[in-house]
Amino acid sequence: MTATALVTGPAPHGPVADFLTDPTAFWAFITRTVLGWAAPYMPVLVPVTTAAAVCVTTARGRMRHRRQRRFADDARCVEILAPPQIPAKGGDVLWAQLAGLLRPWWRRLTDGQPHLGFEYAWSPTGLGIRLWVPGTVPLGLVRRAVEAAWPGAHTRVQQPPELIPPGHVVTAGRLRPARPEVLPLRTEHAADPLRAVLQAATGMSEGETALVQILVRPATGAAVRRARRTARRLKAGGSAPRLARSCCTGHNQY
């Protein structure tokens, strides 16, 4: 013989129970309730919402413009005079010291996070190495970081050179990492990878110039945590996030 016990009781009610038992009906009920509440106030809600959206968009645009103006005002161009012997880990030391440029989150909301522009500039007269420093970044910090990273190096502040002479035809492009940013960049190489870049820009004729600019800024705590979460997901067998376009080129005349 088999004994069966049947326990009955009232059906569960509440938002969570309704959502779990019938999600479609739950969302339909929520939509009808919200529309029924908002319908009498539509003549007021629509213009108020539109005005608020316009104000927020305008305020964000003005704040972004103010940040860019603050970065551009009093910006300096620092030329790096390299020593005869270059330490192998000089670049690591430089960027490790410049990580102190990271601002607190509340300052990033109001003033933004400045970045540095590291530049190789070729011309028929030779190669120039420069750092573009925004006006909000202490100049002495950058110069001391360069001189500490490469003992024997010197820096001097110069007038920003004319990157693109008027009337020249310019071909430009933007490169991004081909793999997800959570994967570390390889820093140990059998041969210096900069050799290919230096060789590609040699032998230019009079009037030709070439520039390679690297824009960098410290990673925020949120970016580091997001990278760690993505790395753990990849290690567990998950998929990598989709990448943006890896390269875009342009051709124009100035």
Number of domains in the chain: 2
Structural domain contains residue 103? yes
Proportion of the chain above pLDDT 70, given as a percent: 85
Three-class SS string for the chain? Answer: CCCCCCCCCCCCCCHHHHHHHCHHHHHHHHHHHHHHHHHHHHHHHHHHHHHHHHHHHHHHHHHHHHHHHHHHCCCEEEEEECCCCCCCCHHHHHHHHHHHHCCCHHHHHHHCCCCEEEEEEEECCEEEEEEEECCCCCHHHHHHHHHHHCCCCEEEEECCCCCCCCCCEEEEEEECCCCCCCCCCCCCCCCCCHHHHHHHCCCCCCCCCEEEEEEECCCCHHHHHHHHHHHHHHHCCCCCCCCCCCEEEEEEEC
Are 147 and 99 found together in one domain? yes
pLDDT recorded at residue 80: 92
128 and 37: one domain? no
Residue type, 55: C
pLDDT tens readout for residues 62-89: 988 888 888 888 888 999 998 888 887 8
Global confidence as pTM = 0.69
Distant-in-sequence, close-in-space partners of 219: CB < 8 Å, separation ≥ 6: 102, 227
If one compares 5 and 224, the residue with the highest pLDDT of the two is: 224
Q: 127 and 154, same structural domain?
A: yes
Highest mean pLDDT among 33-42, 160-169, 214-223: 214-223
- Claim to verify: residue 53 and residue 128 sit in the same structural domain: no
Q: Is 210 in the same domain as 88?
A: yes
Please indicate, yes or no, if residue 155 is contained in any of the structural domains. yes
**Token output for 165:** 């002479």
**Confidence label for 252 from pLDDT (cuts 50, 70 and 90):** very low
What pLDDT score does 248 carry?
Answer: 44
- Residue 95's nearest CA partner among 113, 114, 116, 75 is 116
pLDDT surpassing 80 at residue 11: no
- The more confidently predicted of residues 118 and 29 is 118
Check whether residue 118 and residue 216 sit in a common domain.
Answer: yes
Residue 5 lies in a domain: no
- Pair 135, 217 in one domain: yes
Instruction: Mark whether 87 and 130 lie in a shared domain.
Output: yes
The reply to whether 157 and 92 lie within a common domain is yes
Tokens at residue 193, please?
A: 């990878």
Whether residue 247 has pLDDT greater than 50: no
Closest CA to 221 of 90, 106, 118, 136: 106
Same domain, yes or no: 223 and 104: yes
Is 56 found in the same domain as 81? no
Q: Are residues 41 and 97 in the same domain?
A: no
Does 245 fall in a domain?
Answer: no
What are the phi and psi torsion angles at 44 (to 5°)? Answer: -100, -40
Is 4 a domain residue? no
> CB-side exposure of 240: number of CA atoms within 13 Å?
10
Name the band, by pLDDT with cuts 50, 70 and 90, for residue 19.
low
**∠ Cα 83 86 91 (to 5°):** 115
Report yes or no on 139 lying in a domain: yes
Which pLDDT score is estimated for 240?
Answer: 64
pLDDT mean across residues, the chain? 79
Residue 48 domain-assigned (yes or no) = yes
Domain that holds residue 53: 25-68
Residue 88 falls inside a structural domain: yes
